[in-house]
Amino acid sequence: MQNRMMITGAGSGLGREIALRWAREGWQLALSDVSEPGLQETLKLVREAGGDGFIQRCDVRDYSQLTAFAQACEEKLGGIDVIVNNAGVASGGFFSELSLEDWDWQIAINLMGVVKGCKAFLPLLEKSKGKIINIASMAALMQGPAMSNYNVAKAGVVALSESLLIELAQQEVGVHVVCPSFFQTNLLDSFRGPTPAMKAQVGKLLESSPITATDIADYIYTQVAAGEFMILPHEQGRMAWALKQKNPQLLYNEMTVMADKMRAKAKQSAN
């Protein structure tokens, strides 16, 4: 381990906070995002925090941009030890309202972006016997209503991570998957959905969360160090996951009630 980390979606939010957490330990960071100004700001903060590194604009939908990023990591840092597939977008809406374009967009970024990140960087990780940290969501485990495309994409990230955990054990490449619940973030900047009411509801959940991206980055840092595969940063999330494993039907019933309430609220907003 030479303390070299790659992060996608590092221009803001959780990606930036992960960069700062590892920067405080003196790591070299390869930062990518679709937002250049965001990246510039993150790199400035990283250097102030005691780390260093470089930035490269990268759209995770484009595999050639990810392989070019991996090549830059090899040229500038001599390789990579940890990759964080964090780039993601938010969306919501009931299944009947979501277009196939909404599905394609969501899967292309939140699922295939992670697949492509793992694929592009795997040769470097096999050399360094490094680690993969994939950022999924509690939505992957709990499947809340009115976000089926997001749920499916994030569940795919968990399934991919489980597959890699097993397949890469022989190569001594570690794998972790993180499933945060709602937290204070700028995820809504990328929100896409059929109704403004849905965006407002998600916004309220994000704002009311007592946990910040900084808290989550801290929790990820300690759990990765402890060798934990599935990282659930929220206590409520851990409780909900335990409940679902014990009594899934109870959870489905609760989610059905929640869906009814959301529909009623959306109707009120429309009138």
3-state secondary structure labels for all residues of 130-186? CEEEEECCCHHHHCCCCEHHHHHHHHHHHHHHHHHHHHCCCCCCEEEEECCCCCECC
Three-class secondary structure of residue 29 per DSSP: strand
pLDDT at 194 over 70: no
Distance CA 220, CA 214 (A): 10
Which amino acid does the sequence have at 181?
A: S
pLDDT at 207 over 90: no
Which amino acid does the sequence have at 262?
A: M
Distance CA 208, CA 174 (A): 34
Task: State the distance between the two ends of the chain, measured CA to CA, in whole angstroms.
Answer: 59
Give the pLDDT of residue 208: 58
Fold of 4-235: Rossmann fold (3.40.50)
A 10 A CB-CB count for 47 gives 13
Confidence class of residue 236 from pLDDT cuts 50, 70 and 90?
Answer: confident
In eight-state DSSP terms, residue 4 is E
pLDDT at 13 over 90: yes
Confidence class of residue 185 from pLDDT cuts 50, 70 and 90?
Answer: very low
Selected catalytic residue, list 150, 219, 221, 252: 150
Question: What percent of the chain is predicted at pLDDT more than 70?
Answer: 89
Q: In the chain, what are the helix, strand and coil shares in percent, each to the nearest 5?
A: 60, 15, 30
pTM for the model: 0.91
219 annotated active-site: no
Which amino acid does the sequence have at 128?
A: S
Lowest-confidence range among 94-98, 175-179, 185-189, 257-261? Answer: 185-189
Query: 241-261 pLDDT, tens per residue?
Result: 888 899 999 888 888 988 998
Which amino acid does the sequence have at 18?
A: I
Please report, for residues 49, 131, 178, 200, the alpha-carbon distance to residue 195 in angstroms, rounded to integers and kept in the order given. Answer: 40, 39, 28, 9
pLDDT at 96 over 70: yes
Confidence class of residue 87 from pLDDT cuts 50, 70 and 90?
Answer: very high
pLDDT at 102 over 90: yes
CA 256 to chain centre: 26
